[in-house]
Amino acid sequence: MSTNNEKKNPGDSDDSFGKSEKGKISLSNLPHINGTDRLVKGLYTLDSGKFIVGASVSHDDNTSKTSPKYLKMYYGLTRLDKNGSIDKEFAKKGLTFGQFKPPFNAWGGKVVVHKQSIYMLGFTALDANSDYPPTHLTLSRFTEKGALDKGFADNGHLILRNQQQENLIGNSTHLAIQPDDKIVISATYHAMGNHTQFSGVLYRITPEGQLDQSFNKTGRLDVRLNNKTDITSVNAMQLHEDKILIAGDVTQTDGVKGYFARYDVNGDEDKTFGDPVTPGVYVLNIKDSTVQALIQTEKKSFFGLGMGKRSGKPEGLLAGMNANGRPNLQFNRGLPVLTVFDEEYGESWQAGFIDAEGRITVAGITNRLHFARFLSDGQVDKKFGEMGYTEEDTNANVTPVFLQQKKEDRRFVFGGNTLGLGGSLGVLWAYLS
């Protein structure tokens, strides 16, 4: 670790990361691209300490004879060294980019590495007759060196077209890969013309890149908690041992509430999970709340991160749950921790991790980038930052948000997108833990 860090405290910038700006790098250094948009859409920390970044980039192809409005956005995939420098040995000078179905706009997404392959979610337009075409979910596979694996799906890409009258919310998607190499994907859609009519969906894909017919008989499962038709979003998804754990928010008669639910590998609700009154599901008793991220412990208990609005102002929400989907009584006496560190803007936790000491570090982007750390019992860790909280004076209101740490490191890394006069720019910040 650099001597610049010797007198620093947890939550301070890690000045050994980055070059021109200590503790920070941006995607402005990506090669080949002549556009200005370079957004972080996915972040994965390799065992080596390097980073795989899924991205969306703009690239103006003035030589094309096709309508230029469909030739602006491309997916991107890059690899960074531990210090944040672009790894020039990856792909072509450190970056691979393209479109899922040329000439339509394409955006990258979340990334996962599994058995020397890189899987990336994304989304694409397909409608040439609309100024605001709906976007459709994509899944791509690349080799560990960044080349498109053309033996997967259709020349490396799988496009999961929307059903009639639905539109994908691009940044809502998540993926996880089972031990048998099958791929689980979650996504949220809104109804065409109605941005508040949400529907959550799970997919399972075969290792070859096709819908898995053994999952709900079609490969697609519409999330209907306890078989009800409540408006439901899926904001987070992880494998939970041999099952599928999801979280989000559901609109009930008394308001919108955060929830957790678990499914068996065939797509059935796991009735051993959650509230005995609503088997398979646990709904937080907090109005105007949502769960936006999940963190698991080694013992498979988990935390839900999100937001509540008991008094109208956003409050950071951290709920500790046992592996069976019921509240962990050792964490804040079984109650979610709701916090407001920033009296002006409030908080909304969107990403986090658990360190080797069991402390929970969380991040959010309510008007500015902010972090907090909690002890394993739910108390604020006042040794972190300024009495448990720290922030960047940067407008970072563009999702998605990532927060990752290798447990043996004294560093954690935030990935997100800042908003400035020239538009949004993907950045990684590094901090001491």
pLDDT in tens, 10-49: 999 999 999 878 899 999 888 866 677 889 999 999 999 9
Residues 217 and 214: their CA atoms lie apart, in Å, by 5
Q: Label residues 182-221 b or e (16+ Cβ within 10 Å = b).
A: bbbbbbbbbeeeeeeebbbbbbbbbbebeebeebbeebbb
Tell me, yes or no, if the pTM score tops 0.85.
Answer: yes
Question: How many of the other CB atoms lie within 10 Å of CB of 73?
Answer: 22
Do residues 215 and 221 touch, judged by C-beta distance below 8 A?
Answer: yes
Q: What is the pLDDT of residue 414?
A: 93
- Domain definitions of the chain by residue range: 12-161
Question: For the ranges 115-124, 188-197, 221-230, 397-406, which has the lowest average pLDDT?
Answer: 397-406
Grouping H, G, I as helix, E, B as strand and the rest as coil, residue 364 is strand
Other CB atoms closer than 10 Å to residue 393's CB: what's the count? Answer: 6
pLDDT, position 32: 64
From residue 293, alpha-carbon distances to 11, 159, 173, 225, 364 in Å are 21, 25, 12, 18, 11
Geometric angle at alpha carbon 143, from 142 and 146, rounded to 5°: 75
State phi, psi for 70 to the nearest 5 degrees: -105, 15
Q: Could you give the percent of the chain with pLDDT greater than 90? A: 75
**Do residues 99 and 75 touch, judged by C-beta distance below 8 A?**
yes
Predicted confidence (pLDDT) per residue in 193-249, tens digit: 888 889 999 999 999 999 999 999 999 999 999 999 899 999 999 999 999 999 999
The sign of the torsion formed by the CA atoms of 419, 310, 290, 338 equals positive
Q: Identify the residue with better confidence: 56 or 418.
A: 56
**CB-count exposure of residue 119 (10 Å: 0-12, 13-18, 19+):** buried
In the structure, what pLDDT confidence band is assigned to residue 132 with cuts at 50, 70 and 90?
A: confident
In three-state secondary structure terms, 291 is strand
- Residue 70 banded pLDDT, cuts 50, 70, 90: very low
pLDDT of residue 62: 60
Residue 307: is its pLDDT beyond 70?
yes
